[in-house]
Structure 1
Amino acid sequence: MLDRVVGMGLQLALVPILAAHWGLELYGVWAMLATLPAILLLSDLGFATAATVRMTMQIARDEREAARVTLHSASQVVLVAGLAIMALAGAAALLVPDLALSFRSGADPSHLRTALVCLAAYAVLIIGNGLVLAVFRSNERFALGSLLSTFTLLLENGLLVIVVVLGDGIAAGAMALLVGRGMGTAIGLIVAARLRTGMLPGLRRGNRAVRSELIGPALAAMAIPMGLTLLLQGQVVALGAAAGAAAVPAFVAARTLSRIGLQLSQALAHPLIPEFGAASARGNQRGVLRMFALVLTVATLIAVGFALLLAIAGPWIVHTWSAGHITVPRETMWAIALSALCGGIWNPVSNLMLAINRQASFAPALVALAALAVLVTLALGHWLGTMAAALSMAAVDLVMLIIVLRFGLYHWARPPDLYRTVMALAGEARSEAGRFLRRG
């Protein structure tokens, strides 16, 4: 949970800092350029995610050597992906025209080229770091892996804030992220080695057969970040292209604020992913039902409360939080609130589907809907501004909520069973609260 809370806090802190020191236009350029790592994370084709799930289920069945082969097979794919990323980034830095690179903002193209290469290398390190975290998560060291992720987030973003406050620009900011991520990944490797689990990212034990078996779930896993990247980052680029860079900060600020509720519910669901996968692998249907009911109930409570807060006080919160630099139209915030409500429920529940490699049941729909949302924003952004991006994002989240809930109710719990389990969990919560109060 700590990494989610810290990540959320960092997102909130960076908006006013970057907007104040760089100005809205340069900050808008950074927001668009910063979509690059999210896009490049798709280049490993989802192998790191699929390998983590497979390793967790293999270790739950005490198949440690098979898990080691899975990790090394994924490492081979990640190595090729990293080399391809850096080759493409170098070519883009040399060949993209100045006007296209600067998003018509007047930013120094040479600084943007440096930032592009640094952010590409940063994406490569994030992909590699996913394999390091796979070692912790599959060996029931989820808390330790989350702690290391939190440390890396604090380190890289702390360095970013330092260079921004000192007056440096986009190139220095990208370098700061790269250096911080590199240091955090190195520390993660050292700690993983000291666990003596017998598993570290490597190449020697990987084989073609395992890579072939991973292709299906890996491609489906890749579709999830692809869809989310289109929905979250693609919308930013589309809005900037249609309405100009100055329109981007208002949407980014509102969207960042709306993700708080999602991060809170994800903080509950994320630690349950290995447990849910292990319970499913062992055929523990009662455990599967209880975890599904718990995630759905808590996510719904958080999403409803936070969506109401956004609808009522969202514009005021953004204006105050950004020290008056950013103003969000109330109608845009209402659409963002609807997106937060639906997204705050379907995202945590979909994590449970990912835990059993059933992401193919929703990932293709997410990609198609997100791509459609980007096209809508491109078409209507010039006339509707931030409202075009907010409405299209809300529509995607609403449809995804329907798709994910249908899967859960069909595979994990019939409505009567789900209702009884939710009531039982509520009774347990009341009993625990009563005991706590009596002890107090």
Structure 2
Amino acid sequence: MRWLSDSVKWAAIANMAAQIIGMLGQLIFIPIYLHAWGGEKYGSWMICVGVTAYAAILDFGVSQAASNEMIASIAKRDQKTAQIWSSLAFWVAIGMSLAVGLMGICAAPYAIDFLGNRLGAGDSSQALYFCVVIQLALLVTFNMYICLIRAAGANATASWISVLAIFLEVVIPPCIALGGGTLAQAAAGLVVPRLLGLVICGYALRALAPWATVTVASREYLVRAKEILIPSAANLLQPGGVALFLQGSLVVIGSMLGPQVAAAFGVARTVSRLPFQLCYVFTRAQMPNLTKSISASDKEGFLRSFKPVVLIYFCLTVPMLFCFAIFGEWFLRAWTHETLSFSFALVGGLALCSVLHSGWHMLSAPLVARNLHGGFSVAYFVLVSVSLCALNAMPNLASCVALIAIMEFFALIVSWRQFKSLVFLRF
């Protein structure tokens, strides 16, 4: 890893640790879930708890956009502007956390009925629902803190805090399930890591960036908010599209073909996304460097930061997914003790989807780093919306996977065109 700077290296190691913990947790604990609850209940768990993926978009993209502007302000030694960006991100995140709680209370009767009658959560549906709502509200604020800590120059620290939270999230719920706990009790176990993470983040930000104090909202906040309106919308649409499709496709497949099929699809997709996450950790670690090099029109610095990401994609991610396509069906059957049914079409199709997804994510990273990803984000969200509607007309699981692969292919084409037209215009 000599081609990586020290800050990027430690951030990449921390991100890698998070992915390894997640990977080992999935390899060890998914069979435990299946043994404790069975395929149908585990499918319901994946559909319910997967909703927390939407936490990445519930601050309307402000945290990511504001933190990018913070990095640019710090690079210019403009601490006052950086402090305004941090305060803006804080107030938006707090406001959205409260809004999530309010919306959760309003939607409770309908959501609890859906959980109990359609997904088979039974008596646990009410407690399960409110645990998921609390988890969502906490995640919005937690993600904001992580963005601010990264922007303050402590990329590795932010990654290690995330590692701790992920480790606890991976370990606590399956232990509860193994002890005979219900879906609701396992969901309650997800709340603890984020509460602890918020406390640690608060102390870390105070120590690393004492200037990032929260001030009372003023008219200048509105001026700054207008500056990042389009980047924030883009930050909302891209992760929003990913979250919508990951969770939406699971819900659609579960509604059409049953929780058992949704569980098989979800488990296979989880494993197929592990090589993508390997590429993601290096991309995420390089984001501050990409932001600085594009802001300064430093072509050499950009290439020095971006080449390792491309190398990881072609030398590790793609070969790993090729192996998964060949041996994945056998592995998944043995891993789940044939509790779930898998096919070569499902495994091979999801491997192809992950190759395409990793490709467009890699190409869009420089766009995100300097808030240039508005066009791609809109196009991707449209692709996701159309594909989710089309999924309802698919007759079986294989055709659903084929449709997903087509969507990811078009996303790759759009990201490449945006990458060529926008990034290189900066140099």
Partner of 2:189: 176
SS at match of 1:379: coil
Partner of 2:151: 138
Q: Distance in 2 between matches of 1:289 and 1:377?
A: 39
Match of 1:84 among 99, 112, 121: 99
Partner of 2:11: none
Q: Is 1:240 aligned with 2:251?
A: no
Query: Could you say if the C-alpha distance between residues 200 and 167 of structure 1 is closer, same or farther in structure 2, counting changes exceeding 3 Å?
Result: farther
Q: Is 1:152 aligned with 2:190?
A: no
Q: CA deviation at 1:40?
A: 4.7
CA offset digits 1:33-68 (Å, max 9, x no partner)? 123222354222111111121111111111121111
1:27-426 map, 5 Å: 27-96=42-111, 98=113, 100-102=114-116, 104-108=118-122, 110-200=123-213, 203-204=216-217, 207-380=221-394, 383-384=395-396, 386-412=397-423
Query: Could you say if the C-alpha distance between residues 182 and 388 of structure 1 is closer, same or farther in structure 2, counting changes exceeding 3 Å?
Result: farther
Paired residues of 2:260 and 2:340 also in contact (CA < 8 A): no
- Aligned Cα root-mean-square deviation (Å): 2.1
Q: Distance in 2 between matches of 1:12 and 1:361?
A: 37
CA offset digits 1:174-201 (Å, max 9, x no partner)? 1110122111221121222222442156
SS at match of 1:168: coil
CA offset digits 1:196-234 (Å, max 9, x no partner)? 442156655772111222221111100012110122111
Q: CA deviation at 1:413?
A: 5.4
> 1:83 is matched by which residue type in structure 2?
L
> 2:43 is matched by which residue type in structure 1?
G
Paired residues of 1:276 and 1:355 also in contact (CA < 8 A): yes
CA offset digits 1:344-376 (Å, max 9, x no partner)? 222133222111101213111111111222222
Partner of 1:423: none
Identity %: 23
Q: CA deviation at 1:243?
A: 0.9
> 2:253 is matched by which residue type in structure 1?
L
Higher mean C-alpha deviation, range 259-268 or range 38-47: 38-47
Q: CA deviation at 1:307?
A: 2.4
Query: Could you say if the C-alpha distance between residues 392 and 3 of structure 1 is closer, same or farther in structure 2, counting changes exceeding 3 Å?
Result: same
Query: Could you say if the C-alpha distance between residues 146 and 200 of structure 1 is closer, same or farther in structure 2, counting changes exceeding 3 Å?
Result: farther
Q: Distance in 1 between matches of 2:121 and 2:240?
A: 28
Query: Could you say if the C-alpha distance between residues 12 and 66 of structure 1 is closer, same or farther in structure 2, counting changes exceeding 3 Å?
Result: farther
Partner of 1:425: none
Q: Distance in 1 between matches of 2:70 and 2:119?
A: 46
SS at match of 1:324: coil
> 2:21 is matched by which residue type in structure 1?
V
Paired residues of 1:155 and 1:184 also in contact (CA < 8 A): no
Q: Distance in 1 between matches of 2:148 and 2:251?
A: 35
> 1:168 is matched by which residue type in structure 2?
G
**Structure 1 regions of 5+ residues with no counterpart?**
418-440
Paired residues of 2:115 and 2:125 also in contact (CA < 8 A): yes
Q: CA deviation at 1:95?
A: 4.0
Q: Distance in 2 between matches of 1:12 and 1:92?
A: 34
SS at match of 1:34: helix
With normalisation by structure 1, the TM-score equals 0.88
CA offset digits 1:243-264 (Å, max 9, x no partner)? 1111111101110011111011
Q: Distance in 1 between matches of 2:424 and 2:292?
A: 18
Count of matched residue positions in the alignment of Structure 1 and Structure 2: 410
> 1:253 is matched by which residue type in structure 2?
V
Paired residues of 1:135 and 1:200 also in contact (CA < 8 A): no
Q: Distance in 1 between matches of 2:51 and 2:117?
A: 14
Paired residues of 1:300 and 1:345 also in contact (CA < 8 A): no
Paired residues of 2:40 and 2:259 also in contact (CA < 8 A): yes
Q: CA deviation at 1:140?
A: 1.7
Q: Distance in 1 between matches of 2:112 and 2:300?
A: 58
With normalisation by structure 2, the TM-score equals 0.90
Q: Distance in 2 between matches of 1:343 and 1:95?
A: 34
Partner of 2:7: none
Q: Distance in 2 between matches of 1:338 and 1:202?
A: 48
